A and B are shown apart, each in its own frame.
Chain A
Amino acid sequence: MNAISAEGLVKVYRSRKSEVRALDGVDLEVPEGTILGLLGPNGAGKTTTVRILATLLRPDAGRATVAGFDVVKQAQELRRVIGLSGQYAAVDENLTGRENLVMFGRLYQLRKEEARHRASALLEQFELTDAASRVVKTYSGGMRRRLDLASALIGRPRLLFLDEPTTGLDPRSRLGMWDVIRTLVREGTTLLLTTQYLEEADELADTIAVVDHGKIIARGTADQLKADVGGARVEVIVHSRDDIGRAREVLARDLDGECTLDEHTRKLTIPAHGGAQALAQVVRDLDEAGIAIDDIGLRRPTLDDVFLSLTGHVAEEPIDDDSAPDTGGKAA
């Protein structure tokens, strides 16, 4: 059974001057116990999708069920089985970590004792026990995110939404967050994760849906998406500009396919269907021809290439911004 299924979701934001189609017919299916990565640049519609699935926003058209509940008609039942964590569903910075968790637990309708137990267990699990009685204001960015995630887990949700869980975190905290997320999934939670980091989708998601301009433009596993772009290529950087022409001839002789050149870096790229064999052949032939090279290698396509070939633009790496958790709000 699908934990999430959505058909034709549309959301239009109207203001006096303009009309933005934030979602323009999004279909999604997430089987139980898997991770779907929703990948796309800022403003692609990732957050809007999550807000609709988590009952914070009503779609203008289309329908969606999450854990068997309709997101509009059965919103209250649905809220019992989901957890939401991300840029905007925040914790209270004037309460302590423990106070936050106990409060959210009680609002999940846990009994007082149970909420306290759950809070202690989660503080322990997320290594926040020492900071449990400090107000959240004093927490680092990474600690705050961990508390946020713990808040989403307090009611033991069957389904978890993580909206850009690592945006704004330093690399070390990001790796820590990834570990936490992997552990959760091993325990069987279904997860929908949005991210603008290609690497993150690659590391964590079972399936990736690429979103751009409110539409899903591709879906599949990371490997499938990469395969769609093409197989491995050989990249050669010749030492001297004068050798570019001759190197090109060698590559054209050894391999089929179009050879592209980056003048500035003296880099030649050509599809290599023979893989490592082809690379070895190219190395020998370049050597024989007496062409000096600075670098040569077999490169597999990255999700960057996928993104570029799908959308015609590079996925923007966001500027790390400490205020990220505070953005969003009513208009988002």
Chain B
Amino acid sequence: MSATARTAAPQGGARQAMSDGLIVMQRNLTRVPRIPELAIFAIVQSIMFVFLFAFVFGGAIPLPGYPDPNAYREYLMPGIFVQTIAFAAATTAIGMCEDINKGIVDRFRSLPMARSAVLTGRTSADVVYQSGILVVLMLTGLLVGWGVHTSIPEFLAGVILLLVFAFCMSWIGVWLGTSVPTVEVAQQVSFIVIFPITFVSNVFVPLQSLPDWLQPIAEWNPISTLTASLRTLWGNPNPFPGSSLASTEPILVTLVWFAIILGVFAPLGVRRYRTMSR
């Protein structure tokens, strides 16, 4: 018996990790149109929020410095994108948990494939999936009067921020999905956590309308800094006269947030996955 390294294939471990990750990603994407309910539900939920806030509550939420009633819709849409992408954590957690409980992960773990591929394949597929949802939402946004008023590079920079955010949230989902016993729990936990976080932010209301003690929390919330970044990049209204770094340099703070989320949750998720059934 030849004694090769135990961690990966002889030679090209990284190459195998890449190709195995792509195979798993392809598998996850093949499943999307076969379970259309998932994507439809995600899109309907977001569109419901668009209509609820654009046409029901929006009129009652004044934007300081923007008397035009249309301004609120321009204000709203970047926040809706961020809120929707935040749910990437739920999508990943549910998918991960289902694969574990149905035994697919055990099958993968018994194969001579790169150990990382199940997680990289999952998170990368979920980023692709979220970008599809994003396209539908942007078209909806255009219909209700949202638009990008800057340049194509700035538009693309915003999109990239959103996709990196999806990747970060997806790693939170990996950790969550490997930690909870059932898909139902994964779903409940992610909804209970993500909804309040997106509400205590600048997504739906300007920060100055919040009580004083809550303002700094909402201001430093990564949901807020990302939303503020998008509004800045795309020339959408963003009325908050804050003087903290989170308000003056939202893009920088957002990137730091991304690094923190990935730095914490990717290792946590990988560790949980490795020690599963040990």
Contacts and interface: CB of A to CB of B under 8 A. Distances in A.
B126 interface: no
Given A107-B23, A151-B107, A79 B101 contact: no
Contact of B109 (A56, A80, A87): A56
Contact of A329 (B3, B101, B110, B112): B101
Contact of A88 (B7, B24, B106, B113): B106
B1 interface: yes
Interface string B168-192: 0000000000000100000000000
A55 B27 contact: no
Nearest to A148: B107
B8 interface: yes
A58 B109 CA distance: 13
Interface string A106-132: 111100000000000000000000000
A103 interface: yes
B103 A330 contact: no
B6 A74 contact: yes
B112 A104 contact: no
A90 B112 contact: no
Contacts of A331: 181
Contacts of A51: 277
Nearest to B33: A94
A328 interface: yes
A77 B106 contact: no
B160 interface: no
Most buried by B among A68, A69, A103, A325: A103
Interface in B165-216: 181
A99 B16 CA distance: 20
Given A107-B20, A108-B112, A109-B112, A90 B107 contact: yes
B114 to A, nearest CB: 9
Contacts of A69: 1
A95 interface: yes
A56 B115 CA distance: 12
Interface in A306-332: 325-326, 328-332
A54 interface: yes
Interface in A63-110: 68-69, 73-77, 79-80, 82, 84, 87-95, 99, 103-104, 106-109
B1 A135 contact: no
Nearest to A135: B34
B113 A109 contact: yes
B103 A328 contact: yes
B107 A77 contact: no
Interface residues of B, number: 34
B111 interface: yes
B115 to A, nearest CB: 8
A98 to B, nearest CB: 12
A54 B110 contact: yes
B103 A94 contact: no
A57 interface: yes
A103 B9 CA distance: 18
B113 A107 contact: yes
Contact of A84 (B16, B35, B107, B113): B107
Nearest to B101: A329
Given A69-B1, A329-B101, A330-B277, A90 B106 contact: yes
Contacts of B112: 76-77, 79-80, 107-109, 155
Given A77-B4, A108-B111, A89 B31 contact: no
A94 B34 contact: yes
Contacts of B117: 107
A279 B104 CA distance: 56
Contacts of B30: 94-95, 99
B108 interface: yes
A89 B31 CA distance: 19
A88 B102 CA distance: 7
A94 B213 CA distance: 49
A104 B4 contact: no
B23 A106 contact: yes
9 contacts: A74-B6, A77-B1, A79-B112, A84-B107, A90-B102, A90-B104, A107-B108, A109-B113, A155-B111
Given A104-B107, A107-B108, 14 more contacts: A51-B277, A56-B110, A57-B278, A75-B6, A80-B112, A89-B110, A91-B107, A93-B102, A106-B23, A107-B23, A109-B9, A328-B103, A330-B101, A330-B181
Q: Which 7 A-B pairs have the closest CB atoms?
A: A90-B103, A79-B112, A107-B113, A88-B103, A80-B112, A89-B107, A84-B110
Interface of A: 51, 54-58, 68-69, 73-77, 79-80, 82, 84, 87-95, 99, 103-104, 106-109, 135, 151, 155, 325-326, 328-332
